[in-house]
Amino acid sequence: MSDKNLTNINQKVERLEGYEGPGFLATTLDKAVGLARKNSLWPLPFATSCCGIEFMATMASHYDLARFGSERLSFSPRQADMLMVMGTIAKKMGPVLRQVYEQMAEPKWVLSVGACASSGGIFDTYSVLQGIDRIIPVDVYVPGCPPRPEQILEGVMKIQELVHNESLRRRNSPEYAELMASYGIK
């Protein structure tokens, strides 16, 4: 392989921050785990309407979510760590969404995709939940009706940023317990 190709590959490989010298690299466990988690998120797509179609485009070859290490979709909450909520969520569906969230193991992150999931969108009616953050905590909101696949990818990248920088102890902190308690989640 030519030096030029090698340089290109090195530029694409994400470097782990730390102290390095010839033959060694010292870093923190937080950083090593963060890097691994960030690049192996398993999404659970909770898609109910049109935004779900944009998600299908995001998964397909042109946009290719697999490039971010997230090609392994999970339809089982226990084998997923990124809940992607896409579409209109009727109030009747709220308890189901919440149960799915509760069944996911920690650590877990939530991406709210599109106006409907984030705020009820154009459906300002008695039957539609006016934002999923009324029943579960949300980490990143993606605006749009519908958002383009590029926006969904950006949302995933924002989640990756959170995952990368999250301390391993955050989920045991009193602040996190308080957040969960505010949603009535144990």
- Select the span of 45-53, 76-84, 89-97, 162-170 touching ligand SF4 (CB under 6 A): 45-53
Q: Which of 32, 33, 35, 50 binds ligand SF4 (CB under 6 A)?
A: 50
- Measure CA 34 to chain center: 14
Q: Does 111 bind ligand SF4 (CB under 6 A)?
A: no
Q: Provide, rounded to whole angstroms, the least separation between the CB of residue 115 and ligand SF4.
A: 4
Does 45 bind ligand SF4 (CB under 6 A)? Our answer is: no
Residue 136 to residue 3: CA distance in whole angstroms: 50
Write the DSSP assignment of 108-166 as a string of letters: -EEEEEHHHHHH-TT--STTB-S-GGGTS--SEEE-SSSPPHHHHHHHHHHHHHHHHH-
Does the footprint of ligand SF4 cover residue 130 (CB under 6 A)? no
Return the residue matching tokens 């779900």: 52
Strands (E), 64-174: 82-86, 109-113, 140-142
What is the distance of C-alpha 178 from the center of its chain?
Answer: 21
For residues 109 and 33, what is the distance between their CA atoms, to the nearest angstrom?
A: 15
Tell me how far, at minimum, the Cβ of 163 lies from ligand SF4, in Å.
Answer: 25
Number of residues that bind ligand SF4 (CB under 6 A): 11
Residue 158, amino acid? K
CB of 10 to ligand SF4, least distance (A): 40
For position 115 contacting ligand SF4 by CB under 6 A, the verdict is yes
**Shortest reach from residue 119's CB to ligand SF4, in Å:** 9
Task: Sketch the per residue contact string, 131 through 150, with ligand SF4: x for CB under 6 A, - otherwise.
Answer: --------------xx----
In the complex, the residues that contact ligand SF4 under the rule CB under 6 A are 49-51, 87-88, 114-116, 121, 145-146
